[in-house]
Structure formats: structure tokens, C-alpha cells
Structure 1
Amino acid sequence: MEKGYIHLYTGNGKGKTTAALGLAIRAIGAGNSVFIAQFVKGMHYSELDVLKRFPEITLKQYGLDCFIVNKPTQKDIDAAQIGWKETSAIIKQNRYDLVVLDEICIALYYHLIELHEVLDVLQKKTLSMEIVLTGRYAPKELIDKADLVTEMQEIKHYYNRGIEARKGIEY
């Protein structure tokens, strides 16, 4: 890629991570290398199984076995800090063509990572690296920084009828 851009997939609708993973698969189809950092996620999701089939994709989770419900614990904060330290180093070293920061907006929302640190790393990324950020509650500063912003808006969701998450669809 000659010039890499910054994508942001945000909003309260379903599909942010799915869109990022679809882009990751497209990127490896074009011969690119991909690093996916999942912040706030430590549970097993079905995409983890399929992504193991692609050696061009490296995926690391920097979260616990459950999603933050009310207030983050020190363990949540520590996991995110470790993840950000590793991921920001990977971005600075220019080791991958595409880097996905999955749920980074949630990590920012819960103050697990400082916004100024993320903006600083994005500012210093190499010209050719493509970066995708996902998650609800994207701060205005990230929206302003991104080259492409897509908001997933929930219009209707079966969760509201009591339907629980289904393997292969939601996880």
C-alpha cells in the first residue's frame, strides 16, 4: 500500500469487529500482513478459531474472561495497559501492513488507556500502515483524526426481545 489510512468503526450497532475482520481477510488476500489487538476481550470468540488458519494474521487479546459491566477492575486496567504497550511498539516498529485496534474505543471510554497516547501513536504511524479502530463511544478527537469513519447504528436488535448471543453469530 502506498498510503495507509486510519479507519474508525463506531456506534451502538452490531458489526464493528466483523467489518474490521473482513478487512483483515481482504488485506491478507492481497499479500499483506495483519496484527489484531483485541482490547477488553479475553473470552473465546468463534473468529479466533478461523483466524488461526491464516498465518499472516497475528491476533492477541488484552482483556479478561468477561466484559466490563460497571467499573473496570485493576486487572482490566493492567491487561489493557500491557496490550497498549505491546501494540504501540508494534505500530512504531512498522511490523505489519494493517493493524486493527479492536474495542480500543471501549478501552478509552473506561479510561484503561489514555487518549493522548493513542493519538500520539496514530500521529507517528508510518505513512504506509493502515490502522482500524473499533468500538462504541468513539471520542471526538479520534473521529477528527480518522480518514474514514463509519457509524454502525442499531435500528432494531433481537437482543431487545430476550434473544441471547448465539455461537457463530455474536461470538
Structure 2
Amino acid sequence: MSHQYFSQIAWTGNRGQGTESYRSYDRTWDISVTGKPVIHCSNDPLLGGDPSKMNPEDLLLSALAACHMLWYLHYAAVQGIVVMGYEDTPIGIGEVDENAAGRFISVTLRPKITLRAGSDMAAAHAIHDRIHEVCFIARSVNFPVEYEPTFDFAD
């Protein structure tokens, strides 16, 4: 079964001269999806982008972490493991070749998961091994996605 996803990308960086020269325009745009808040974006700050705005690399890294989290919560609920909190601070490693073409070479998800006291830690940890089989985003990328979870128990 196939699904369709829709988004609108609109360049906002025309300073009045368009792309007349390499430095005559900003690398900014808006992402719009019907019924959702607009996301104002820029390119990577390493390339002169606005560090206060999301860039494509931020969005991809966040999408991977969110997809993993949602599947983790699903499997935990199905297995009767009560998750009280979930945070992630993922790290993406990128490289740029001699032609200035960049790519991700790996991502490590680092979820900090708070479980209800008395939860089965081994079962909670094992859930991570199943997620790569179903996570839409992780299954769509061509680099390894690893995970280094930590667990706490709620008071």
C-alpha cells in the first residue's frame, strides 16, 4: 500500500536581484504543509546559513529520532512497558568531499528513556533492535543508524 505526503517549499531569499551572483541571494526558504505551522529554514551555518533556523540536516536528523521514538513508544505500550519520559540527543556525522558534495555517513540516536519503576529493563532495551525493521525514515536512508539508549526509573 502506498501513501502520499505533500509539502510546499518556497524560497524566501530573493533580495531583489534573484540569483544574479552567488552572493546576491539568501539560502532561506519556508516549508509549508496544509494545516500546520510554517517552518522557516536556512542552509547549514557552515555554508553561511542562519544558525537560528532549521536546515535540511537538522530536519533529517530530527526525523530519524522522531520516527525511532514513535516506534519505541508503540512497542513499549504493546509489551506493557510503561515509558514515563523519552528524550533524544542524536548525533549525525557528515562528510564533505573535494567537490564540496556532502552526505551523512552515520547517525547515532541517544535516547534517554524513563521507565515506570519495576519495568523490565532487558525487554525495554530489546525494543530498539526491532525498530530498524519498521521505521519509515531509517529504512529510507543509505547510512547506518545506531542507537545508544540510557534508561532511568521514575520515582
User: What TM-score, normalized to structure 1?
Assistant: 0.26
Q: TM-score, normalised by structure 2?
A: 0.28
The structure with the greater share of residues assigned to strand is 2
